[in-house]
C-alpha cells in the first residue's frame, strides 16, 4: 500500500504525543487531586486515540507552590500522586498498550525546600554553596542587577543566612540552579539516569533556555514595550543576560549522550522568549543535541491566521543539520486554543478543524488532555483561582487555571466522574456535556473524529515525515502539500473567510480522505467551496491510503 508509515524512521519522528496534567486527569482516592492510579485507569482511553506516547507533567515531590514545577525531590513521587511502585506500574501498563512515556524534567530551578538548596544556603563555604545563583548586594543594599522575574518583581531574593541574594526567574520559592557548575550538571544527569532506568522513553525539558545566566550579571536592556501594553515588568526587558546563554547547547549534548545510552529515546525542549526560533534550532542542531523543540508561537496567539501558520512553519524548512519541530495549540500554560480563536457558536466545528490542521503540520504534535473532547477554556471564579500568575495579574489575563480544570469522564456522575471528593479546581458546568462517555458512541463527536484523524496520520508517511510546500490560495485560506517519496497529501483549510472558493489545478486528480468531520470512508471529489472552520486532506486518485 503506497504511503504507509516509514519503518526506518525513529518512533518519535512525526509522533502524536498526548499530554497529561496529572492533578486534573483522574482522581482515584477522593482527595480531589488526580493521581498516578488515575492515569493508569485512563491509559486505555489515551491508547484508543492512536497516539504514540504520553507526556506526564510533574508528579515529583513538591510543596506545590507552582503545582509541581517547584521540585523538592527529583527522584521522588509526591504522596498526593502515589508511589514509585505506582509509577512503575504506569510504565508497564503504558508499554503494554504500545504507548511510550515521556516525563517532565524541570532543571532550570528547584523548590526552596529541595535538600540541595537547604545545604546551599547554609553558608558560602558549604559543599553545595555554588549550586545555585548567589550574588552580593550593591553597595546600597539593592539587588545585584535589574533582572525581573516571570511572575512579577525582581529576580532576586535576600537570604539572611548567607547575607546574599539568590536568583529566581519564577517564584521566590523557585531558586535558580547554577548550571554553569559541572557538579550540578552531573547531579541532573544522575536524575536522568534514575528515570531512564525505570523505563521512561524520554524527557520534556521545561523552560530549558532559563537554565543559564550571564556570569557577569550585567543588566538586561529595556524591550521598549510600554507598561500599558504588558501585564508585568518582565515584559519590559530583553532577557539577554538572565537566560538564553550560549553555554546551554553543550549541556544538552551531555543530556543527549545519556539518552542514547538508554536506547531509542526522545527529548524535546520547551523554549520561551522573543528569540525562541534561534534557540530551538541551536538546541536541536545536528545529531548530538535534543531531538526536538517547541515554543509558544501558537500557545499565546490570540488569533489564528493563515499568515501566522505559514510564518511559523516556514521557519522549519528542513535544511541540512536542522532539528525537528514540535507543535502544540493548547497546554497547561495557555488558555485553550478553541476559546482564543473561535466564537462560542463555532467552537465544535473549530475544535475539530483545529485538530485536522494540527495533525497535518510537519513535525511532532502535542495534544493536551481534553483537546480530543473539544473542551473550551473553563471559567474559574477569582475565589477559586490557584495559579500564582493568574492571581498576581487578575483580571488582566485569563491565567492558566481555566486550562487545568478536571477532565469530564461521565456526564451524570459526581464531578463528571473525575473525583468522588471536592476537585482542587472546580469543573466548568459546560464541560459535563462534552464528557468522554457521551462522546464514546457518537460518530460525529470530537473524540471519535480525533481517533480517526490520528490513525490516518499515523499510517501516511507524507503526514508524519514529509516535506511541506505552501500553495497560493484565496484570502483567508491556507493550503500546502505534504510529500515524501512521490506520495503527497494536499491539506486545505478555511481559517478566516466566511466562505471561500478555491480548487487546485487538476483538481479531478485528487480525492478527499479526511475533513473536520473525520476520515472519509470513500474518497470524494474536492469541494469548490469551504465554509469557515472547515478543511480537508486529499490524495491523488491513483494512490491508496490506510482506511479509517
35 is annotated as an active-site residue: no
* DSSP bridge pairs for 167: 156
* Grid cell listed for 348: 465544535
* Grid cell listed for 279: 534557540
CA geometry: angle 431, 434, 436, nearest 5 deg = 115
Pairing of strands 266-270, 292-294: parallel
b/e per residue, 189-200, with b = 16+ CB within 10 A?
Answer: bebbeebbeebb
Cα–Cα distance, 191 to 188 (Å, whole number): 5
* Grid cell listed for 345: 457558536
Residue showing cell 477532565: 407
Selecting among 35, 270, 333, 352, the annotated active-site residue is 270
Return the closest-CA partner of residue 487 out of 460, 513, 508, 524: 460
CA distance readout (Å), 131 to 61, 146, 170: 20, 22, 17
- Which secondary structure element, helix H or strand E, spans residue 451, and what is its range? helix 446-458
182 is annotated as an active-site residue: no
Cα–Cα distance, 213 to 427 (Å, whole number): 40
Selecting among 206, 352, 371, 387, the annotated active-site residue is 206
Chain center to CA of 82 = 24
* DSSP bridge pairs for 491: 480, 537
Cα–Cα distance, 104 to 115 (Å, whole number): 20
Which positions are catalytic?
Answer: 206, 270
Amino acid at each position: 500500500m503506497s504511503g504507509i508509515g516509514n519503518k526506518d524512521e525513529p518512533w518519535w519522528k512525526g509522533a502524536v504525543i498526548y499530554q497529561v496534567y496529572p492533578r486534573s486527569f483522574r482522581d482515584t482516592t477522593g482527595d480531589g487531586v488526580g493521581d498516578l492510579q488515575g492515569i493508569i485507569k485512563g491509559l486505555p482511553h489515551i491508547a484508543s486515540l492512536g497516539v504514540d506516547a504520553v507526556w506526564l507533567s510533574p508528579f515529583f515531590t513538591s510543596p506545590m507552590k507552582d503545582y509541581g514545577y517547584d521540585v523538592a525531590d527529583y527522584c521522588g513521587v509526591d504522596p498526593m500522586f502515589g508511589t514509585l511502585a505506582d509509577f512503575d506500574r504506569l510504565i508497564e501498563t503504558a508499554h503494554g498498550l504500545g504507548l511510550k512515556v515521556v516525563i517532565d524534567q524541570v532543571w532550570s530551578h528547584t523548590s526552596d525546600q529541595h535538600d540541595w538548596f537547604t545545604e546551599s544556603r547554609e553558608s558560602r563555604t558549604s559543599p553545595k554553596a555554588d549550586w545555585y545563583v548567589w550574588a552580593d548586594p550593591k553597595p546600597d543594599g539593592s539587588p545585584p542587577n535589574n533582572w525581573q522575574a516571570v511572575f512579577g518583581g525582581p529576580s532576586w531574593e535576600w537570604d539572611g543566612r548567607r547575607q546574599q541574594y539568590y536568583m529566581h526567574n519564577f517564584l521566590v520559592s523557585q531558586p535558580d540552579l547554577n548550571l554553569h557548575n559541572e557538579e550540578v550538571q552531573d547531579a541532573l544527569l544522575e536524575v536522568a539516569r534514575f528515570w531512564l532506568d525505570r523505563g521512561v522513553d524520554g524527557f520534556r525539558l521545561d523552560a530549558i533556555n532559563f537554565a543559564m545566566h550571564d556570569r557577569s550579571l550585567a543588566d538586561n536592556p529595556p524591550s521598549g514595550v510600554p507598561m500599558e501594553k504588558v501585564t508585568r515588568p518582565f515584559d519590559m526587558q530583553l532577557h539577554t543576560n538572565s537566560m538564553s546563554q550560549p553555554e546551554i547547547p553543550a549541556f544538552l549534548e551531555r543530556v543527549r549522550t545519556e539518552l542514547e545510552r538508554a536506547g531509542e529515546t526522545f527529548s524535546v525542549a520547551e523554549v520561551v522568549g522573543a528569540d525562541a526560533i534561534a534557540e530551538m534550532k541551536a538546541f536541536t542542531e545536528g545529531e548530538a543535541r535534543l531531538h526536538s523543540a517547541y515554543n509558544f508561537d501558537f500557545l499565546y496567539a490570540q488569533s489564528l491566521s493563515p499568515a501566522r501558520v505559514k510564518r511559523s512553519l516556514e521557519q522549519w524548512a528542513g535544511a541540512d543539520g536542522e532539528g525537528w519541530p514540535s507543535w502544540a495549540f493548547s497546554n497547561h500554560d495557555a488558555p485553550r486554543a478553541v476559546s482564543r480563536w473561535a466564537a462560542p457558536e463555532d467552537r465544535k466545528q473549530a475544535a475539530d478543524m483545529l485538530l485536522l490542521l494540527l495533525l497535518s503540520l510537519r513535525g511532532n504534535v502535542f495534544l493536551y488532555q481534553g483537546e480530543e473532547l473539544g473542551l473550551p477554556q473553563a471559567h474559574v471564579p477569582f475565589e477559586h483561582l490557584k495559579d500564582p500568575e493568574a492571581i498576581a495579574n487578575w483580571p488582566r489575563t485569563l491565567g492558566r487555571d481555566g486550562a487545568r480544570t478536571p477532565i469530564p469522564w461521565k456526564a451524570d456522575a459526581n464531578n463528571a466522574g473525575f473525583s468522588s471528593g471536592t476537585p482542587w479546581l472546580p469543573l466548568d458546568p459546560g464541560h459535563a456535556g462534552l464528557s468522554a462517555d457521551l462522546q464514546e458512541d457518537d460518530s460525529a463527536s470530537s473524540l471519535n473524529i480525533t481517533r480517526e484523524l490520528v490513525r490516518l496520520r499515523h499510517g501516511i508517511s507524507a503526514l508524519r515525515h514529509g516535506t511541506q510546500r505552501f500553495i497560493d490560495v484565496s484570502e483567508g485560506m491556507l493550503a500546502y502539500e505534504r510529500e515524501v517519496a512521490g506520495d503527497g497529501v494536499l491539506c486545505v483549510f478555511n481559517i478566516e473567510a466566511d466562505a471561500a472558493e478555491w480548487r487546485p489545478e487538476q483538481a479531478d486528480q485528487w480525492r478527499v480522505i479526511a475533513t473536520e468531520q473525520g476520515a472519509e470512508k470513500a474518497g470524494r471529489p474536492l469541494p469548490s467551496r469551504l465554509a469557515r472552520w472547515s478543511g480537508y486532506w486529499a490524495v491523488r486518485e491513483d494512490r491508496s491510503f490506510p482506511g479509517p
